[in-house]
Amino acid sequence: GSAEGNFADHHVHSSFIYRQLRHHEKKEIQREILSILGLPRRPKPFTVGKHSSSAPLFMLDLYNAMSSEQETERGAARGSLSYRATLTTQSPPLASLHDTNFLNDADMVMSFVNLVERDKYFSHQRRHYKEFRFDLTQIPEGEAVTAAEFRIYKDRSNSRYENDTFRITIYQVLKEYSNRDADLFLLDGKKIRASAGGWLVFDITATSNHWVVNPQHNLGLQLCVEIMDGRTINIRSAGLIGRYGPQSKQPFMVAFFKASEVLLRSVR
């Protein structure tokens, strides 16, 4: 709404003569602005209903927080994205507000949609877990990961576990087998009251860096919920929202980048 207001204001106050661009002029301007943005061509996303998904909403919140901070800091030569405001609006107290110093230096933030989500359990141990996968091969050149998070929403769990505490653990899948559980590497874990709700944030920085360098090793993440006696339970009964939940509560991954090189446009 406010952006639209600014847009309208511009036409009122603009001293620049506005005229309809001819087709080839528009094409040329599009080409030049894409070049400035460092894009070889315009992206063609599949965006039906995507604007109301959790990741775009989270990113828009981040953008708004950053824009308002830039307004107040106009003049000071700080060139970084700030993340603090977003953590307070998007992440209820349930999500840990871990050290955000490294995030203040980010030049780029990117969210990734979950590509695969499978509910599984291994028959002998009846170990329940959920798999998630993210494609990190689309990261623009010259960007190095400084932090990465996996974010999943938790509602109140079903009444059966009302007084329980859950241990939610996230693993990197190292190797998959057809007849037994995959080899896993423990990444992060949290203890949560079953009655609690909100976004859960897991640190997956090291894994993301590994996947960026070795995309062939990206076999995804596994999430597992245990009650305190060690039994694993179904993710859905623990209140965790997966692919079939509301769009605004879909799990996603977010990564923060620092430009490792100056963007140079090609000489024409």
Partner 1 sequence: AANSKRKNQNRNKSSSSQDSSRLSGPGDYNSSEQKQACKKHELYVSFRDLGWQDWIIAPEGYAAFYCDGECSFPLNAHMNATNHAIVQTLVHLMFPDNVPKPCCAPTKLNAISVLYFDDSSNVILKKYRNMVVRSCGCH
Binding-site ranges for partner 1 (CB under 8 A): 3-4, 6-7, 10, 13-16, 21, 26, 29-30, 33, 36-37, 42-47, 50-51, 55-56, 59-60, 62-63, 66-67, 70, 74, 79-81, 107-113, 135, 138, 140
Closer to partner 1 at the Cβ: 43 or 230? 43
The minimum distance between CB 201 and partner 1, in angstroms, equals 17
Question: 14 Cβ partners below 8 Å, 6+ apart?
Answer: none
Taking the complex as a whole, how short is the minimal distance between the CB of residue 73 and partner 1, in angstroms? 11
Nearest approach in angstroms of CB 179 to partner 1 is 32
What are the beta bridge partners of residue 128?
Answer: 121
DSSP 14: -
Closest approach, Cβ 126 to partner 1, in A, equals: 35
In the complex, minimum distance from the CB of residue 111 to partner 1, in angstroms, rounded to a whole number: 5
Residue 140: CB minimum distance to partner 1, A: 7
Measured from the CB atom, the residue of 110 and 225 that comes closer to partner 1 is: 110
CA distance 109 to 89: 17
Residue 190: count of CB within 10 angstroms of its CB: 16
Comparison of 44 and 175: residue with beta carbon closer to partner 1: 44
Kindly tell me which of 57 and 238 has the beta carbon lying closer to partner 1. 57
Q: Which amino acid is at 103?
A: L
| Other CB atoms within 10 A of residue 220 CB | 20
100 Cβ neighbours under 8 A, 6+ residues apart: 83, 84, 87
Return the number of other C-beta atoms located less than 10 Å from residue 181's C-beta. 16
Q: In terms of CB distance, is 74 or 175 closer to partner 1? A: 74
- Burial (Cβ within 10 Å: 0-12, 13-18, ≥19) of residue 174: exposed
Cα(28)–Cα(259) distance, rounded to whole angstroms? 28
Element at 36 (helix H, strand E): helix 23-36
- Choose between 71 and 99: whose C-beta lies nearer to partner 1: 71
